[in-house]
Chain A
Amino acid sequence: CDPDLTEEETAVLTSRLSRQQQHQQQSSLLSGCEKCCQKDNCPVTRVRSAQAVCRQCFLAYCTHQFRAGFGKSQLIRAGERVLVGFSGGNGACALLRLVKQGLAESTHRKLRFTPVFVYIDFATVFNDNGDGPLSGRRAAVLEQFDAHLPVEFERHCLTAAELLPGLSEALAAMTDGTGYRELLHRSVHRCLALASRQFNCSRVLTGETASRLAELTLRSVAQGRLSADSGAFSAIAAGGVCQVRPLRQLTSAETALLSWLAADGLMPVCPRPADPDSPLLNDGQGGGSIPGVIASFLGGLQQSFPATVYNILRTGEKLQSDSVAAGSSSSDSAAAAATPCPACGLSMQQQPSGDDGGNVRSNCNALRALRLSENLARSGDSPEPSTAAAGLWAKEGGRYCYSCSVLLNGCSKRAVLEECLIDADGAD
């Protein structure tokens, strides 16, 4: 048993282990862990290598996947202040547990950065002034901080309404579900970036799992943009903030199983999935959205084909590197690539019009694919890229990238939305 568990947690774990052993004796399908080869260790799940592993090997696997990213990237130096975004969700709980474990004195080759845990409270953005689900979530998260964070770890609760004053108004003014969800997603990361500046942190750690990053990658492509959300271990977002995703190698199912098997009392604080008033799950006006469709599609595919999310992440990384290479090989594209979009920080290389100089690689990007799909959906047979995207671009004067132009045009209070998106004090 782990020496760090309380008596109650040890009792729960012992009870579970004895049930597992009883189950193994009765089951003819399981014959011991395929990793440690101990017949007495009952397998609990399969991991990426398709091995059936026991609880101890699964916990070790999760720790290894978490630590491997730091080791390979050498991204975070000893003593560096690192903001850890904690939402109370599935991935966030796994992240908190693994960071705490990695920083423990007794850990071999312990991590050596200084974490600053931050919860961004969205309650007042959605007019939840004390008795709604978001206020409940804040209270539960603060209890988790008290119960599971060592006292020496810095922790803060910041309100999104103070960090982005116009956010509530901008969300209410979004005219479609896709734009609403996109703004919500971006506002979380904007808040974390602002918090990292406030607390003098050089990096932001988030609990996005492989499943979530694959979803974001497909979402980005579907909206005609290559993105820092392409699923890499680290990415520079708008404002020059370095986002790090140390759970990139773990699926949402694995992080959920980690929380359950760890048996340390740290469980996700979950929104009510069926609550129509839950603003974090609200598709906004107009019903369905691209993010909703992508999440549903990917979830179904992953269930049948477990390598799906990893394939998407690998392909997303290649798209990111190919776009950088394409930008550097053409003088026109190089000039455009040097200018980041002020709203999202991405390269402005993806303008829908203009001479690409016949460069094959620069012709192969998400925006051109989107334009082609749009045209095929309308005309049915024409291979020419549509002019709708070019028209929107011309209307915007080329100030923003295509997907940010769409987002801004989908809001009836554009000036308020621009204030939320654009980082006036950015490091670009």
Chain B
Amino acid sequence: MKLTLEFGGGAEFLVGNVKKHAIDLPDTQQWTLGQLLEWIKANKLQERPELFLQGSSVRPGILVLVNDTDWELLGELSYQLKDNDDVVFISTLHGG
């Protein structure tokens, strides 16, 4: 299953300062957003995972969008990912 991950708002520094990642998850299972976060922790996060994750979810202050839709509308961690979904993580932990 092909997905595009995008990081912004400073979150990109935690994944090697790369904003856009094209990834291919194995089709051996149904992937939820919760499982994707675990995959990101294991495969993409290069430093300070506590600034991105808190427990099994994202840290407060990280906005998550799937195809430009707030994950809150989609069931958050339990949302089942689909092929070619675009998942965006934007950190709001900085000032204005």
Spell out A's residues near B (CB within 8 Å): 16, 19-20, 22-23, 26-27, 29-30, 42-46, 52, 55, 87, 89-95, 206-209, 211-212, 247, 252-253, 255-257, 260-261, 267-268, 270-275, 280, 299-300, 302-303
Distance, CA A188 to CA B82, complexed state (A): 45
Q: Among the interface residues A19, A52, A94, which one has the most CB atoms of the partner chain B within 10 A?
A: A19
Across the interface, B70 reaches (CB within 8 A) one of A26, A46, A89, namely A46
Across the interface, B94 reaches (CB within 8 A) one of A20, A26, A89, namely A89
Distance, CA A271 to CA B9, complexed state (A): 8
Interface positions of B from 61 to 80, Cβ below 8 Å from A: 61, 63, 65-70, 72-75
From known contacts A256-B63, A267-B8, infer whether A206 and B96 are also in contact, taking CB-CB under 8 Å. Answer: yes
Across the interface, A270 reaches (CB within 8 A) one of B47, B65, B69, B91, namely B91
**CB-based contact B63/A44 at 8 Å:** no
**CB-based contact A274/B47 at 8 Å:** yes
The answer to the question of B25 belonging to the interface, with a C-beta cut-off of 8 Å to chain A, is no
Residue of A nearest to B49 (CB): A274
Cβ of A95: which chain B residues have Cβ within 8 Å of it? Answer: 96
**CB-based contact A30/B92 at 8 Å:** no
Residue of B nearest to A209 (CB): B96
Residue of B nearest to A263 (CB): B68
The answer to the question of B10 belonging to the interface, with a C-beta cut-off of 8 Å to chain A, is yes
Distance, CA A252 to CA B9, complexed state (A): 11
Across the interface, A16 reaches (CB within 8 A) one of B59, B68, B75, B95, namely B68
Distance, CA A257 to CA B59, complexed state (A): 17
Distance, CA A22 to CA B86, complexed state (A): 12
Distance, CA A302 to CA B72, complexed state (A): 14
**CB-based contact A260/B60 at 8 Å:** no
**CB-based contact B67/A43 at 8 Å:** no
Residue of B nearest to A30 (CB): B73
**CB-based contact A207/B82 at 8 Å:** no
Distance, CA A261 to CA B13, complexed state (A): 22
From known contacts A90-B95, A253-B63, A256-B63, infer whether A272 and B13 are also in contact, taking CB-CB under 8 Å. Answer: yes
The answer to the question of B51 belonging to the interface, with a C-beta cut-off of 8 Å to chain A, is yes
Cβ of B85: which chain A residues have Cβ within 8 Å of it? Answer: 23
List 5 A–B pairs whose Cβ atoms lie within 8 Å, in order of A's numbering. A43-B69, A44-B69, A46-B73, A95-B96, A260-B68
The answer to the question of B90 belonging to the interface, with a C-beta cut-off of 8 Å to chain A, is yes
Distance, CA A29 to CA B79, complexed state (A): 10
Spell out B's residues near A (CB within 8 Å): 8-11, 13-14, 47-48, 51, 59-61, 63, 65-70, 72-75, 82, 85-86, 88, 90-96
**CB-based contact A253/B92 at 8 Å:** yes
Residue of A nearest to B74 (CB): A29
Cβ of A299: which chain B residues have Cβ within 8 Å of it? Answer: 59-61, 93
Cβ of A256: which chain B residues have Cβ within 8 Å of it? Answer: 9, 63, 90, 92
Distance, CA A206 to CA B51, complexed state (A): 26
Residue of A nearest to B10 (CB): A270
**CB-based contact A92/B96 at 8 Å:** yes
Cβ of A91: which chain B residues have Cβ within 8 Å of it? Answer: 95-96
Distance, CA A207 to CA B94, complexed state (A): 12
Distance, CA A87 to CA B96, complexed state (A): 6
Residue of A nearest to B51 (CB): A273
Cβ of A212: which chain B residues have Cβ within 8 Å of it? Answer: 95-96
Across the interface, B10 reaches (CB within 8 A) one of A247, A273, A302, namely A273
Distance, CA A267 to CA B13, complexed state (A): 15
Cβ of B75: which chain A residues have Cβ within 8 Å of it? Answer: 29
Distance, CA A300 to CA B82, complexed state (A): 29
Ranked nearest first, the 9 interchain pairs of A and B with the lowest CB-CB distance are A91-B96, A207-B96, A270-B10, A299-B60, A45-B70, A274-B48, A252-B92, A303-B60, A23-B67
From known contacts A260-B65, A299-B61, infer whether A52 and B86 are also in contact, taking CB-CB under 8 Å. Answer: no
Looking at the assembled complex, report how far the CB atom of A133 sits from the nearest CB atom of chain B, in whole angstroms: 10
Distance, CA A418 to CA B10, complexed state (A): 34
**CB-based contact B61/A45 at 8 Å:** no
Across the interface, B69 reaches (CB within 8 A) one of A23, A208, A274, A300, namely A23
Distance, CA A129 to CA B28, complexed state (A): 52
**CB-based contact A208/B10 at 8 Å:** no
Looking at the assembled complex, report how far the CB atom of B19 sits from the nearest CB atom of chain A, in whole angstroms: 9
**CB-based contact B70/A257 at 8 Å:** yes
Distance, CA A43 to CA B82, complexed state (A): 18
Q: Among the interface residues B14, B48, B63, which one has the most CB atoms of the partner chain A within 10 A?
A: B63
